[in-house]
A and B are shown apart, each in its own frame.
Chain A
Amino acid sequence: DAKTTQPNSMESNEEEPVHLPCNHSTISGTDYIHWYRQLPSQGPEYVIHGLTSNVNNRMASLAIAEDRKSSTLILHRATLRDAAVYYCILSYGGSQGNLIFGKGTKLSVKP
């Protein structure tokens, strides 16, 4: 399975944009890029996913590099409730089955 690399932790100030990077240099052409986040004492929560084009939804934006070897999750205006562990995950053909979660990036948001 293709692997992802994320920083262990990041800090942000409230109401500022946050760019969470993810490297996936061994991604294959059929791998989708998924982002989930996990708030303290909660189960993971779906954020966004994409294949080649940039994606936007009400929670975030996903910017995918042209060569697809990296991607960035963008939170446009961080709030205290966005403090969580963010996981970048690859899956074959878009299937959510057997999502291989790494350790993710722990995002702290300062007021």
Chain B
Amino acid sequence: EAGVAQSPRYKIIEKRQSVAFWCNPISGHATLYWYQQILGQGPKLLIQFQNNGVVDDSQLPKDRFSAERLKGVDSTLKIQPAKLEDSAVYLCASSPRADTEAFFGQGTRLTVV
């Protein structure tokens, strides 16, 4: 079974630039999550989708972060404009339902300079 695919694996941008991350969940998984993991900390949920609807985006900094999941499959997470403190690994995860185990991708490591 193919896992959660994320791209790019690494990205370096200057502050105030924009960046987008892409996630392809496991086929058939209705629930999709984006997490942010700052070095030395555990992952923090940014947004949860159920199909193409948002379930929880309470921790998403909406002034600069946006996410969408068109057609309930792939998802993109965008940061515009980026700040130094956005340097982190951005993890995408999916699960068949919200009450089943989540499968994580390898993440995208973002460095903002």
Q: Number of contact residues on B: which range applies?
A: 20 to 34
**Of B14-22, B68-76, B79-87, B104-112, the one with at least 4 CB within 8 A of chain A:** B104-112
Contact for B102 among A41, A93, A99, A103, CB less than 8 A: A99
Q: In the complex, which residues of chain A have a beta carbon less than 8 angstroms from the beta carbon of B31?
A: 96-97
Complex Cα spacing A95 to B99, Å: 4
Check: A68 CB closer than 8 A to any chain B CB.
Answer: no
Residues of B39-79 contacting chain A, CB below 8 A = 40-45, 48, 55-56
Known: A103-B41, A103-B42. A97 touches B104 (CB 8 A): no
Contact check: which of B42, B100, B101, B106 meets A43 at CB < 8 Å?
Answer: B106
Residues A99 and B45 in contact in the complex (CB < 8 Å), given A43-B91, A44-B91, A93-B99:
yes
**Interface assignment of B24: CB less than 8 Å from any CB of chain A:** no
Binary flags per residue of A37-81, CB closer than 8 Å to B gives 1, else 0: 000011111100100000000000000000000000000000000
Residues of B within 8 A of A104 (CB): 42
Distance of A94 Cα from B107 Cα, bound (Å) = 24
Q: B93 near A: Cβ within 8 Å?
A: yes
Least distance between B92 CB and chain A CB atoms (Å): 8
A102 on interface, CB distance cutoff 8 Å: yes
Chain B positions near chain A (C-beta within 8 angstroms): 4, 31, 33, 40-45, 48, 55-56, 91, 93, 95, 98-107
24 examples of A-B residue contacts, CB within 8 angstroms? A42-B106, A43-B4, A43-B91, A44-B93, A44-B104, A45-B104, A46-B101, A49-B101, A87-B42, A93-B99, A96-B95, A96-B99, A96-B100, A96-B101, A97-B31, A97-B33, A97-B56, A98-B56, A99-B43, A99-B45, A99-B102, A101-B42, A102-B42, A103-B42
